[in-house]
A and B are shown apart, each in its own frame.
Chain A
Amino acid sequence: MKKTWSLILTLVLVLTLGAGAACAEEPVRKIIWWVYGEAPIDTRLVVEKANAYSREKIGVEVELIFKTDEQFNTDMGADTYYDMTFTSDWCNSFAVNAFDERFYDITELVRTAAPALYACIDQVYWETAGSVNGRIYAVPTLKDMASEQYFRFDKDRYEAIGITIPEEMEFRDLEPMLKAYREHYDDVYPLMLARGGLTGMTNSCQWIVGSYLCSPYALAGTERENQIIPFWEDEELMERYRLLHRWYTLGYINPDAATTETIGADIRAGVRSGSAWKGYYTGYSSWAGINVEGSRYAGPNMSVATMRGAMNAINAAASEEQAVACLRYLELLNTDRDFGDSLRLGVVGVNFNYIVNDQGKRVAERTEQGAANWSMDGFVTGSVRNASCSSDSYYDWDEIYEGYKHARVSTLGAFTFNRADVEAECAACGAVMAKYTAELLTGTMDIDAMLPTIREELKTAGIESVQAEAQRQLDEYLRTNQ
């Protein structure tokens, strides 16, 4: 009997120690993740729920810290610790940080630590968006990867005056629609603009340096491809600036546009604009509170800049264990739709509910609490492609990605300009453009009248040196990568 008891106790002891050892091997890792935007009210609620899920699945939990553009710059500059951060072409510059080696080189690690993540993102995005000098420093977020610009119309009001919204249109085709709106409705300007102008209007080219040196998509396949040129040589862009000014003088645009910060959702503008994709602007918009219809006027245009619209990078100072935890977390986000939804849409039953739409697809319908307390850009918390569509609009990502095969693609590949040798000139040219940007984007300024002044000022600031340096770097890149 004694022997039996001894045997049982020994067995229990061994099992307990064994289980303990197993636990010790897999401690829960906490990662600090900086994401873009203002923290929504339900952050704690949503993150606690998501952490419970990810702890169980992969033994990783996050501390989600929301940051604005300025906060990213300040905190990166002060070397504040984080494990993983949002980075892109337009906020928390991927190029600058990667060149300065502030991001973890995940070229090998991502293949071994998160093979499913590596597999679910196309090779082209790893090589173009996430890489600098042939090394991978960031995980691209699968969202709209090309630039497609849409006008978003007030469907009910336009239909009421007998105008049908076309699926596609040219930028210049907007004028008769603005005119018609002006003639029938006098409570609001047809094209209400804030100082940022029409979102994405300048995406007729790939911007190489600031908003003054570019490579137009229209030149791809012509003799002038692979040339970096000043913005006034992009005819498509210049035509848009001219049209905007014409609409401004015709009274279609609010006169104080250049000094207006935002146009709130409460203003029922006839036309708004945005970077979107097929199916995005369709039906009732809970944000605007009206029925909307989108019409594409540009795109799809594709370049390294459009692919770098949203990414996540790991701190170069993070330990390998933390880096692995970050990659596994992103892997879970990219491969587990329920988990992706839990961060993007919140807690089921509280912030949103799954419903079946008219097409028989499972979509997410936000609750009132969800719309008010957990609402942010879709790309903030990882892959949009993997997440459920909202009940506002249904779209098929496979179809959208298929459409990218017909996109106008930049011939510059993964080229990224390194401004280190002409930093003072870039800063001075940036300051010149900062003076005119709001007025250009809102049509307040007559570009033809002001262009000689702008050119002269940019010349004084050193645009020629910047252009020469950018062209030199591009030529070198093309030589080594062809």
Chain B
Amino acid sequence: MRDHRQNGISASAPPRRKRRARFSRDDAELTLLSLPTVLWFIAFCYVPLFGIVFAFKNYKVKAGKGFLYSLFVHSRWVGLKNFEFLFRSPDLASIIRNTLGYNLIFLLIGVTLPVGLAVMMAELRSKRLARACQTAVFLPYFLSWVVISYFVFAFLSTDRGLLNSLIQAFGGTRVLWYQEKGPWPALLILINTWKTFGYSMVVYLAAITGIDRSLYESAVIDGATKWQQTRWITLPMLRSIVAIMLILNAGHLFSTDFGLFYQVPRDSSSLIDVTQTMDVYVYKALMQNNNYNYSSAVSLLQSTAGCLMMLGANRVVRRIDPESGLF
């Protein structure tokens, strides 16, 4: 009975046999359209999943037998032994603190700053100025970390850096920036924000552009100020997209941008307390040992923790606002 009502069919109508949905021309086109993406996901996200096996094997190559034989037949199972490597590190506490700490700060800034700027940008009357600002903040997103590391070095180099030149010009003593860990947490946060916030801002700006303008017109007629329009129309309408971005970013809480934490501080040992994250530690350890098993074990750990964080974040968001969850 309920089904009939939902389908808009009166209760008195004769029961119709459930018709099997036909694969329409539209369906075919859409399937075709999605095919490259599906294939991409299969090839790069699902097929490589077998690599998880590495985390539980002592991978040894059997010359001439090929990679798959070496992995599945020749290499022996070692249980959880490969995870031992990470927990043997005397820096484990600082690695976890840095990984989670920076990511939480990035998460917080990654929501507040781009949303705030997107709201301000949407209010710019001059379209030309708006476009120029968008381009200016979006540009750093396309720069590689290696290039950025050289920019930073141009500022912080002990001998020829701009900052030290300024300090010395004012009679100060030059600072060994790459050996002073004090300023680096703030520097890394600043650099990461500068590089990434433009991208998020464009996403939020697109969402703001999509808000029905009649809502603002009604608010103006009712005498709402700009702040009230933002508080009661823009921000509530952005809630869903903010939630989605938040949930997606929560999945990366245990992974960090290797370029930011390795290239930008130029792998300086003096800064390791504040720059060593899980990815940096694994890279440096594996450069020494070339052991795929350990890197797979740590990656599996990161992915599992990230997945759990994402599920948790989704659950929290759904509890606060049932319509804003991702799934």
User: Using an 8 Å CB-CB cutoff, how does the interface string of A71-98 with B read, 1 for contact, 0 for none?
Assistant: 0010011110100000000000000000
B270 interface residue per 8 A CB criterion: yes
Q: Which of B15-66 contact A (CB under 8 A)?
A: 58-66
Is B90 a contact partner of A427 (Cβ separation < 8 A)? no
A436 interface residue per 8 A CB criterion: yes
Is A461 a contact partner of B90 (Cβ separation < 8 A)? yes
- Interface-lining segment among B80-88, B237-245, B252-260: B80-88
A462 interface residue per 8 A CB criterion: yes
Chain A residues closer than 8 Å to B60, beta-carbon distance = 100
Q: CA–CA, A421 to B316, complex, Å?
A: 45
Is A431 a contact partner of B284 (Cβ separation < 8 A)? yes
Is B70 a contact partner of A428 (Cβ separation < 8 A)? no
Of the residues A258, A432, A456, contact of B178 by C-beta under 8 Å: A258
Chain A residues closer than 8 Å to B216, beta-carbon distance = none
Given contacts A258-B269, A430-B288, A438-B269, contact A79 B90 (CB under 8 A): no
Chain B residues closer than 8 Å to A433, beta-carbon distance = 288
User: Using an 8 Å CB-CB cutoff, how does the interface string of A414-431 with B read, 1 for contact, 0 for none?
Assistant: 000000000111111011
B188 interface residue per 8 A CB criterion: no
Is A256 a contact partner of B157 (Cβ separation < 8 A)? yes
Chain A residues closer than 8 Å to B84, beta-carbon distance = 424
Of the residues A103, A255, A428, A437, contact of B88 by C-beta under 8 Å: A428
Tell me the smallest distance from the CB of A266 to a CB of chain B, in Å.
15
Q: CA–CA, A109 to B264, complex, Å?
A: 52
Chain A residues closer than 8 Å to B265, beta-carbon distance = 259
Given contacts A256-B157, A316-B63, A439-B269, contact A460 B288 (CB under 8 A): no
Chain A residues closer than 8 Å to B88, beta-carbon distance = 424-425, 427-428, 460-462
B186 interface residue per 8 A CB criterion: no
User: Using an 8 Å CB-CB cutoff, how does the interface string of A298-338 with B read, 1 for contact, 0 for none?
Assistant: 00000000000000000111100000000000000000000
Is B269 a contact partner of A435 (Cβ separation < 8 A)? yes
B102 interface residue per 8 A CB criterion: no
A384 interface residue per 8 A CB criterion: no
Tell me the smallest distance from the CB of A35 to a CB of chain B, in Å.
19
Is B269 a contact partner of A428 (Cβ separation < 8 A)? no
Chain A residues closer than 8 Å to B63, beta-carbon distance = 79, 101-103, 315-317
Q: CA–CA, A220 to B308, complex, Å?
A: 56
B285 interface residue per 8 A CB criterion: yes
B266 interface residue per 8 A CB criterion: yes
A469 interface residue per 8 A CB criterion: no
Of the residues A73, A255, A445, A462, contact of B159 by C-beta under 8 Å: A255
Chain B residues closer than 8 Å to A434, beta-carbon distance = 284-285, 287-288
Chain B residues closer than 8 Å to A81, beta-carbon distance = 64
Size of chain B's interface in residues, with CB distance under 8 A? 44
Is A461 a contact partner of B67 (Cβ separation < 8 A)? no
Tell me the smallest distance from the CB of A253 to a CB of chain B, in Å.
11
Q: Which of B279-323 contact A (CB under 8 A)?
A: 281, 284-292, 294
Given contacts A79-B70, A256-B157, A317-B63, contact A431 B89 (CB under 8 A): yes
Chain B residues closer than 8 Å to A432, beta-carbon distance = 89-90
Tell me the smallest distance from the CB of A460 to a CB of chain B, in Å.
4
A254 interface residue per 8 A CB criterion: yes
A444 interface residue per 8 A CB criterion: yes
Is B268 a contact partner of A258 (Cβ separation < 8 A)? yes
Chain A residues closer than 8 Å to B176, beta-carbon distance = 255
Tell me the smallest distance from the CB of A404 to a CB of chain B, in Å.
31
Given contacts A76-B61, A424-B84, contact A210 B159 (CB under 8 A): no
19 interchain pairs, CB-CB under 8 A? A76-B61, A79-B64, A100-B60, A210-B288, A255-B158, A256-B178, A316-B64, A423-B58, A427-B285, A427-B291, A431-B285, A431-B288, A433-B288, A434-B288, A438-B267, A444-B269, A456-B90, A461-B89, A461-B90
Shortest Cβ-Cβ A-B pairs, 10 listed:
A317-B64, A430-B288, A259-B266, A428-B88, A431-B285, A316-B63, A460-B90, A255-B158, A457-B90, A317-B63
Q: Which residues of A are at the interface with B, using a C-beta cutoff of 8 A?
A: 73, 76-79, 81, 100-103, 195, 210, 254-256, 258-259, 315-318, 423-428, 430-439, 444-445, 456-457, 460-462
